[in-house]
């Protein structure tokens, strides 16, 4: 455990909360957590369950109603061909990644993923007993991982490709042809694929293509999903691992010996979201698109014109756009921004890419506009 670092984004989040407790106004661009009231379908479903007054141990793999609804949701929106027997309910997508890697890896097996990566990939890989094998991608190629990257990087020890589409922090979205080429390369290299698709419902331009929509690759692909982003339910902690029946059996054993399953009330909250997934995701997506427009329109005016990401709730921005203040490391820049301007941003280094910072545009439009103004004032001094 000495080698395990705490989550970078959650550390910045903790600093924001400390400052807010002292009564300071902090502009929060650090947490990818849609600041929205829960859609009523979610709260009503949870309340109905709570009012029944039952509070027994849940089935460790998840309540059957939610597993069934999750498979229907993914078959409808991601063109998967799955059923309840392939679904495990986990406390968030993060635990689903951990549980899948723990289930798949032998000690010191390598897990291949692209940088910039989601902050937790290296440490979750290590906790699961594996070794991160990181391939760098570039802004010029839209931060895309290619089949060549995979084939060049694999060694005898590489076991899993941890693929992220739509991508946090870059918003990169892969076409059907690109996803197929990646899956073909993974097959050629003998890799199992864990595909993290937690932003599947927050695509602003283009089509989301799931790794689970290729029947010829079904046996080597597992999916990670979550209610946190698509349904703005981060605090309810509900995620999903979609895998073969054999892996699902192993996940169930792991759940019985670790968490004993997710809280039943939060699973019923997720049932409410999935029973009305179009409406609930539509509500979140519309709000996030307005915030995206607010973020980019304001940023264009105060700094420079940026290319809009195709998906997600983040902007991955080069430090060079911030003049003299940007002539430093991403960690030093973000520390000064929160200490001196009360603007919380995440250093690119936490995502494996120095020279960049990540903004989340999931807070209210008012907070986004005021926060960028505070940053511009600070950067110009």
Interface residues with ligand PLP (CB under 6 A)?
A: 32, 92-94, 118, 164, 168, 196, 198, 226, 228, 234, 239
> Residue 33 in contact with residue 12, Cβ under 8 Å?
no
Nearest distance from C-beta of residue 373 to ligand PLP, angstroms: 26
Least distance to ligand PLP from the beta carbon of 241, Å?
11
Asked if 21 and 348 count as a contact pair (C-beta separation under 8 A), the reply is no
Q: Can you give the length of the chain in residues?
A: 381
Nearer to ligand PLP, 167 or 341 (CB): 167
Nearest to 229, CA basis, from 102, 108, 118? 118
How far apart, in whole angstroms, are the C-alpha atoms of residue 190 and residue 235? 37
Q: Which is nearer to ligand PLP, 109 or 196 (CB)?
A: 196
In the complex with ligand PLP, which residue's Cβ is closer, 61 or 196?
A: 196
Query: How is 13-65 classified by DSSP, letter by letter?
Result: HHHHHHHHHTT---EE-S------PPPHHHHHHHHHHHHHT--PPPPTT--HH
Query: Shortest distance, CB of residue 103 to ligand PLP, whole angstroms?
Result: 17
Residue labelled with tokens 């089949």: 147
Q: Output the residue with the shortest Cβ distance to ligand PLP.
A: 92
CB 73 within 8 A of CB 240: no
Nearer to ligand PLP, 82 or 228 (CB): 228
Query: Residue 164 corresponds to which tokens in the numbers above?
Result: 């992220």
- Name the minimum Å distance from CB 122 to ligand PLP: 13
Of 171 and 298, nearer to ligand PLP (C-beta) is 171
Q: What's the min distance (Å) between Cβ of 376 and ligand PLP?
A: 27
331 exposure class (CB count in 10 Å sphere: 0-12, 13-18, 19+): middle
Closest by CA to 270, choosing from 302, 301, 235, is: 235
Shortest spacing between CB 97 and ligand PLP, in angstroms: 6
C-alpha to C-alpha distance for 345 and 340, rounded to whole angstroms: 13
Dist. CA 296–CA 221, nearest whole Å: 35
Judge if the upstream peptide bond of residue 169 is cis by omega within 30 degrees of 0. yes
Q: In angstroms, what is the minimal distance from the CB of 300 to ligand PLP?
A: 25
Q: Rounded to whole angstroms, how far apart are CA atoms 27 and 86?
A: 41
Least distance (Å) between residue 114 CB and ligand PLP: 12
């Amino acid at each position: 455990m000495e080698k395990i670092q705490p989550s970078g984004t959650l550390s910045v989040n903790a600093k924001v909360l400390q400052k807010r407790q002292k009564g300071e106004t902090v502009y929060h661009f650090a947490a990818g957590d849609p600041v929205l009231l829960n859609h009523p379908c979610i709260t009503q479903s949870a309340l109905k369950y709570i009012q029944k007054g039952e509070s027994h141990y849940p089935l460790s793999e998840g309540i059957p109603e939610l597993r069934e609804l999750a498979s229907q949701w993914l078959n409808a929106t991601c063109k998967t061909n799955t059923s309840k027997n392939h679904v495990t309910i986990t406390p968030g997508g993060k635990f689903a990644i951990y549980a899948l890697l723990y289930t798949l890896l032998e000690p010191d097996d390598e897990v291949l993923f692209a940088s910039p990566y989601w902050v937790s990939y290296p440490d979750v890989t290590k906790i699961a007993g594996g070794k991160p094998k990181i391939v760098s991608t570039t802004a010029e190629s839209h931060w895309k991982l290619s089949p060549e990257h995979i084939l060049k990087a694999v060694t005898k020890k590489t076991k899993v490709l941890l693929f992220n589409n739509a991508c946090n922090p870059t918003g990169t979205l892969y076409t059907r042809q690109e996803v197929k080429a990646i899956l073909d390369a993974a097959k050629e290299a003998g890799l199992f694929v864990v595909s993290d698709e937690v932003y599947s419902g927050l695509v602003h331009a283009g089509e989301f293509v799931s790794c689970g929509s290729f029947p010829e690759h079904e046996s080597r692909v597992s999916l990670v999903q979550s209610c946190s982003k698509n349904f703005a339910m981060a605090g309810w902690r509900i995620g999903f691992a979609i895998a073969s029946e054999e892996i699902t059996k192993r996940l169930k054993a792991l759940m019985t010996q670790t968490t004993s399953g997710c809280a039943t009330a939060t699973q019923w909250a997720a049932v409410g979201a999935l029973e009305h997934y179009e409406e609930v995701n539509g509500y979140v997506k519309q709000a996030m698109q307005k915030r995206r427009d607010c973020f980019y329109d304001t940023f264009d005016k105060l700094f420079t014109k940026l290319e809009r990401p195709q998906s997600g709730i983040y902007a991955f921005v080069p430090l060079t756009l911030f003049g003299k203040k940007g002539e430093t490391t991403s960690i030093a820049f973000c520390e000064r921004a929160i200490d001196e301007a009360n603007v919380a941003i995440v250093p690119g280094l936490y995502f494996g890419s120095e020279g960049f910072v990540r903004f989340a545009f999931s807070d209210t439009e008012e907070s986004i506009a005021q926060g960028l103004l505070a940053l511009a004032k600070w950067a110009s001094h």
